[in-house]
A and B are shown apart, each in its own frame.
Chain A
């Protein structure tokens, strides 16, 4: 509250300082009251313009601390000048210029508040897990869909093995086909640690998985239906694969083989699908809000989740590319998988980050 008072005082004392005298002389020359109004404030506006221009050029470091501190006050000066000028001045040039300047300053004052670095800090320090929790029941819906998909895949293949070829893309099947012997299937699970090019494999896996997750999210805005379908489709493959290995008594082994990276990857796909459903539900049942506003609110909430999903998928790709090939026994794989599962669940739903302290 003391800030406006002090700035008025500053203006009064400024009237008698030599620096301001040239300005006042110019203002006295002006015949029109509205031009005097403009000349008295023009130096503030020009200073604001200089700061804004420098920030727009990306030279934030070139802006002095004084200028940065003055920026909000200068912006408010310009806004109030604009409001006054609209009611008292007919100088179109000044009005348009002030509008443009105010708008540029508005973009900076009310722009993205944090740079990417700050944003990431807040993101890991609780923002991410909070946004995951905000999805609420959509996670449960997505989880139910994924379980249903797995069960459906299993039952379909169990009833008719031909379904297997329909569900699993031919490129992935190679040795893993119904009727393959136990030894062949074992061979696909173990003994690949001598394989090289793991890093390449991991990067390719990540790139592919990330696109799938982004798709599951982005499709949410067709009322969430494509997200649901994608979730089910991907998990029917899982169900079919489980059935195949179960037939040869390798259930635990396949679970271990999948769990190394699968707990992270399926978790990520679960979140992406839930985010898609969240948007879809917000658009289908916007409640009190307009549809557009509801979609926008849901989109902002879920964008954070999606950044996290991409990061999880990077990790899953690394686990799939390295850990799975390097850890060649089921117990080790199960431990890694279970550890990741507990880690993510704890991070998202138990740990509350800085949120509690801030509130």
Chain B
């Protein structure tokens, strides 16, 4: 039952299980706090770059409108005012809509999250809703940008920037500490929205071993007795599967030697692959037969 045990949500690990509406348990791995911080930094850098690029473009356009001041009523002044309006709106959108736009997409991830291989998902069995994404990103605004507002406000009011700086630092520290104070690494926005951030590994499907190894199946070069197969369990079977799929020579030799010693059955030099493949297929056939009868053998120590 080892596999079952690892699927249960354990507070100490990052593994979580979500039951789909179809009633099947899907394992999830929570994103590390480091990956999330990296994703955030990448996003902030991209947002900053986009803001600078927009500002420079607008300035470049404004450079063409010479000889007008902002307060005037001439056509040129109106053009300049329109540029300022566009700039204010663009800055607002970059700040508030960047995360929203990307997280509502099918990948549920901003560019930074895509690069670090994580995405937003709903906690529990519910679907991720548009409202949830909006809520988590509205709260991001105060978590992240409030200290800047404090300090900016203090500078513009001409008051003590030290006090504002400290207030900002404490504020920031509270929200940075928040993900460390709960076991699901939720930040405040995740709490409000009912979301969490999980890893999204992608992988290719390898060949089925009993098809990719027709030689061993056809030749029946080795036939093992049930007693010889009963030495190992599921854990060893899956280790053997990894070795076979990796297919590195020295590892194959070592594993073949170990098995041959354990079951007391020699094999000719250079035939370790055939030996291992026949052993793998027959062991798997035996264990799967047990499975169908409701008997699982977790590893070699299990009865």
Contact = CB atoms under 8 A, between A and B. Distances in A.
Contact of A307 (B101, B104, B134, B157): B134
Interface in A291-318: 292-293, 295-304, 306-307
Chain B interface: which size bin? 35 or more
A114 B130 contact: yes
A308 B22 CA distance: 35
Interface in A19-51: 26, 29-35, 38-39, 42, 45-46
A112 B129 contact: yes
Chain A interface: which size bin? 35 or more
Interface string B19-45: 011111011100000000000000000
Given A90-B234, A100-B203, A116-B104, A303 B135 contact: yes
Interface in B69-109: 70-73, 77-78, 81-82, 84-85, 88-89, 91-92, 96, 101, 104-108
B210 A292 contact: no
Interface stretch (A153-161, A212-220, A260-268): A212-220
Interface in A166-223: 169-171, 196-197, 199-200, 202-204, 206-207, 210-211, 214-215, 217-219, 221
Nearest to A38: B208
A110 B238 contact: no
A29 B129 CA distance: 46
Main secondary structure of the interface of B (DSSP, over half): helix
Given A93-B205, A93-B206, A87 B291 contact: yes
Nearest to A119: B130
Given A90-B288, A107-B119, A196-B73, A296 B191 contact: yes
A30 B211 contact: yes
B167 to A, nearest CB: 13
Contacts of A45: 205
B22 A196 contact: no
A166 to B, nearest CB: 14
A279 B217 contact: no
B176 interface: no
B255 interface: no
Interface stretch (B48-56, B194-202, B221-229, B264-272): B194-202
Contacts of A218: 138-139, 141-142
A203 to B, nearest CB: 4
Interface in B210-243: 210-211, 214, 217, 234, 237-238, 241-242
Contact of A30 (B71, B157, B202, B210): B210
A89 B132 contact: no
Interface string A83-96: 10001111111101
A7 interface: no
B274 interface: no
B22 A221 contact: no
A292 B140 CA distance: 17
Contacts of A219: 142
A299 B188 CA distance: 11
Interface of A: 26, 29-35, 38-39, 42, 45-46, 55-56, 58, 60, 76, 79-80, 82-83, 87-94, 96-97, 99-100, 102-104, 106-108, 110-116, 119, 169-171, 196-197, 199-200, 202-204, 206-207, 210-211, 214-215, 217-219, 221, 279, 292-293, 295-304, 306-307
21 contacts: A29-B214, A29-B217, A30-B210, A32-B281, A32-B288, A35-B210, A38-B208, A76-B22, A90-B238, A112-B104, A196-B77, A199-B84, A204-B88, A207-B88, A214-B142, A292-B191, A295-B191, A298-B192, A299-B132, A303-B193, A306-B138
4 closest A-B pairs by CB: A296-B194, A299-B192, A303-B135, A110-B127
